[in-house]
Structure 1
Amino acid sequence: MQTPAPARIRLLLLTDTSIAFSGGSERFLRNLVTLLPRDRYDITVVQLDAGGFPESEKHHLADGDAARIVHLPVEAIYGRGGLRALRTLRSMVAGGGFDIVQSHHEKSDLINALLPRRPGCVHISNRRDMGYKKSAKLKWLFRHLNPRFDCVVAPSQQILGELARSEALEAGRMLWIPNGVDTQRFHPRPPPARAAIRQSLSLQADALVFGCVARLTPEKRHVDLVDAFARMHATFPQARLVLLGDGPLQGEIEARVVSLGVAGAVRMTGMRPDVEAILPALDVGMLVSSTEGMSNAILEMMASGLPMIATDVGGNRSLVASGATGLLVPARAPGRLAEAMLALAADPALRHRMGEAARQRVEREFSLAAMVRAFDQAYRRLADVA
């Protein structure tokens, strides 16, 4: 007797940003949409990004019809766009077309919490950071809205702990699913490939290259990174710094680099679509944020075989085993950061051991397949689908 095919889950994903963007939460959502089994999911993505509908979204979703994308631009949740999006989504959900509604970021969470509840539809909030952008009033509001969610999922235990503390989130609603990285896309490269990438970036073969993948925004603390690099560059003039990312602080960071006299040693590439090719050409990966949830950038650098220097905040301490796969330093401490950079600069053997251990840890604990499998299992359990 032939076994019946599993029932298809109708999944509605709400996000404040376009999935074509290059940030960690957008990469997470693209991975989820494209890798969930297509024969078991019907996926609709509703984007509340007010910046317009990028044509590049079709490119980012891989070939085929992985998801239907709907654009409902919202400037302010309490404005006309927010009310219009709420009305549209209430109609979509009330019609019984979805088994699961999952939201990402504050606007989407607020709308999700206000949608009608009906039997057979599960509401999930996916929290990706430590809530550093939430005001005290917004945290107060979420204390009252969190019971509207059947489940709140987060990629790190630190995020869930903060939600319990600041938003009175109940343990029974918490679900921890770590981020995953594509270890086939992000992997070490042989010396000839490294040399070719370095040449394309105007980096000498013998340069000691530190790199950071992050948006140029205040919480990523590029100012601390540049200050620390300038200090260590005085001791290691062959050191170079590659900053992959763009953002509102680009002009400020460029000016800082010039004022510190290291403009010739710093490469600011903007956000590159080929980041997986650039990372293996580096010697040390860095992320020095003042706050983090669970960084996809750290996972991608570790998967590329890089030892990490990261700040001891949020989920970073769950990823970087200090002394084994990299070094953890306090946030907003350029002096301590420079000391860590000097320590790795002076010890090639240590860099090599940490880089190998970092790759092995990602393969063992943070694979993309494991993350998608965990979401698939959680969805089927919450939706009570065999």
Structure 2
Amino acid sequence: MKILHIISSGGMYGAEAVILNLSRTLNEGAHSSVLGVFSNSANPNLQLHEAATKEHIESHLIPCKGQIDRTVVASIRSLAVRTSADIVHAHGYKADIYTYIALRRSSIPLVSTCHTWYDSDLFVSLYGMADRMVLRNFAAIVGVSDEVTLRLLKAGVREDKIHLVENGIDLRPFDNATPSLQEGSTSGYSPIVGLIGRLANEKGVDIFLRAAARVLVELPSAKFVVVGEGPDHDKLESLIDELKIRESVLMLGRRDDMPSVYASLDIMVSSSRQEGLPIAILEGMASRRPIIATAVGAVPTVVLDGRTGVLLPPEKIEALASEIANLLRDPARRMSLGTAARKLVEEKFSAERMTADYLQVYEDAISTQDKSTAKSFKDPAPSQGKTK
């Protein structure tokens, strides 16, 4: 089976990691994975394409000028034909909409993964509404958490088309990684607390920084790092100065050595306001890092309070600061939580398990498409509401 993934990438984040992990595992088996990555004129974000090419995963760029570019439709249609795709798998609202327009009259089954939806402003909300309308016509739709699948149901997607597939990761890069952050004080050991994620409101980076300021009052030797890029970069830089914690906080931007970054952390924090199932949390757990996270989305399914990490309600700055300080003072507890976290990821969140689940989704999509096509030949009447 050949799967063509289509994505308009915003950088190397959760969806991109899923595509890479899935592609690696598919290509190591009897199947193959090909990527179609939008090259957006305003903000190309070609990191996924570059990473895939480096790993010898076939990847093609899809030029796109502005929010609406009719040439993208022809490009997707041509790419699906040239790659002899058995399944076209879209990721994200822009990929969903363009892929549907391009292939709605094709016999190729369409699959989409809804990694999460952020209705953070009117523009994104309108795209989200359009996305959910389009998804009703896909052969199969994957939600990465119960919260996302519930929203699909509320959007009118048929229950028999919806599949829950939790994210999985390739564990191998996180085995025996060497720490790469040498930010400790020359006069002694400085513990490092890190947040990995997109610099956007839903990730709660501002909450992390405010908690850091409180921790530093008690533990001034601690260091805090933020890894990621995003629209809130300048706002967060200003907040660091406002809190007067510049000497203790590093904004590291995008990193290409993430296993080594995780290995450098004493604690990993996820202070998100909204989430699906963050790949960063799974990677941190695979690296045996103790996790402190807000109980949003599917996070409580992996961060089991007191067992594989610490769970907190969102927006609780004081509680987050207190938990960070307590955990920094307790290395034995950090080791215990990290060991249990790794074990859980090995058992339930491997790339192999995720790939097996997606292969079942693809089989179901082909079956659904075959039935739909057969019915359309028998009853082509427009009153039946068929779109294919």
The answer (yes or no) to whether the contact 1:46–1:72 under 8 Å persists in 2 is no
Contact kept in structure 2, 1:156 and 1:293, CA below 8 Å: yes
After superposition, residues 273-352 of structure 1 pair within 5 angstroms as: 273-352=256-335
1:16 and 2:3 matched: no
Cα deviation 1:31-52 (Å, max 9, x = unaligned): 2223313674454422224134
For residue 37 of structure 2, what is the aligned residue in structure 1?
47
Identity %: 25
**2:214 is aligned with what amino acid?**
R
Alpha-carbon deviation of 1:184?
Answer: 1.4
Provide the rounded CA distance (Å) in 2 between the counterparts of 1:39 and 1:242.
38
Choose which of 134, 142, 165 in structure 2 pairs with 1:153: 142
Unaligned residue ranges in structure 1 (runs of 5+)? 1-8
- Contact 1:36-1:376 within 8 A present in 2 as well: no
The structural deviation recorded for 1:56 is 8.2
In the other structure, the counterpart of 2:151 is 162
Cα offset, 1:183, TM superposition? 1.5
Tell me which residue corresponds to 1:123: 110
Give me the TM-score of the superposition, normalised by structure 1. 0.84
In the TM superposition, what whole-angstrom CA distance separates every residue of 1:208-228 from its partner, at most 9, and x where no partner exists? 221111122222221111101
Counterpart residue number, 2:229: 246
Q: Which amino acid aligns with 1:46?
A: G
Rounded to whole Å, the distance in 2 between the matches of 1:278 and 1:57 is 22
- Counterpart residue number, 1:73: 64
- Determine which structure has the larger helix proportion and give its number: 2
Structure 1 residue 178 and structure 2 residue 166: aligned?
yes
**1:245 & 1:156 partners in 2: Cα distance?**
23
Higher deviation after alignment, 26-35 or 89-98 = 89-98
- Give the secondary-structure state (helix, strand or coil) at the position aligned to 1:61: helix
Would the aligned equivalents of 2:6 and 2:37 in 1 still touch at CA under 8 Å?
Answer: yes
SS of residue matched to 2:66? coil
TM-superposed CA distance for 1:128, in Å, is 0.6
Shift of 1:146: 2.7
What's the CA shift for 1:349?
A: 2.1
CA–CA separation in structure 2 for the residues paired with 1:282 and 1:100:
39
Aligned counterpart, 2:16: 26
Q: CA deviation at 1:203?
A: 4.8
Pair 1:62–1:202, CA change in 2 (3 A): same
Whichever residue aligns with residue 230 of structure 1, its letter is A
Corresponding residue SS for 1:72: strand
Structure 1 residues 152-207: Cα deviation after superposition (integer angstroms, max 9, x where no partner): 11222221122223x12222111111111221111365xxx55xx45x33456522
Counterpart CA distance in 1 for 2:291 and 2:47 is 35
Q: How do 1:249-260 and structure 2 match up within 5 A?
A: 249-260=232-243
2:345 is aligned, of 362, 366, 378, to 362
RMSD: 2.8
**Cα distance 1:87–1:359, how it changes in 2: closer, same or farther (>3 A)?**
same
CA–CA distance in structure 2, aligned partners of residues 252 and 311 of structure 1: 22
Q: What do the CA deviations read for 1:107-158 (whole angstroms, capped 9, x no partner)?
A: 1111233344457521111111134357554454445433201111122222
Paired AA for residue 268 in structure 2: G
Residue of structure 2 in register with 1:5 after alignment: none
**Following the alignment from structure 1 to structure 2, what is the Cα–Cα distance between the partners of residues 236 and 243?**
18
Letter in 1 for 2:298: G
CA contact (8 A) 2:27 2:33 kept: no
Deviates more, 1:180-189 or 1:225-234: 180-189
Could you tell me how far apart the structure 2 residues matched to 1:352 and 1:38 are?
Answer: 33
Relative to 1, partners in 2 of residues 1:54 and 1:40: Cα closer, same or farther, differing over 3 Å?
same
Aligned to 2:93: 106
Distance 2:65 2:128 in 1: 21
Q: Name the SS of the counterpart of 2:136 in structure 1.
A: helix
SS at match of 1:37: helix
CA deviation digits over 1:8-31, x for unaligned, max 9? x2322211127xx32221122122
C-alpha distance 101-136 of structure 1, shift in aligned 2 (>3 A): same
Verify: 1:237 aligned to 2:220, yes or no. Answer: yes
Structure 2: 5+ residue runs without aligned partners?
A: 368-388
Greater than 6 Å deviation, 4+ residue runs: none
**Cα-to-partner distance string for 1:279-298 (whole Å, 9 max, x where unaligned):** 11211111111111110100
Equivalent pair of 1:24/1:297 in contact (CA under 8 Å): yes
Preserved CA contact (<8 Å) 2:3 2:32: yes
Q: Which residue of 1 is the match for residue 197 of structure 2?
A: 214
CA distance in 2, matches of 1:55, 1:231: 35
* Deviation digits for residues 337-365 of structure 1 (CA, Å, limit 9, x no counterpart): 11221231232222121111111111111
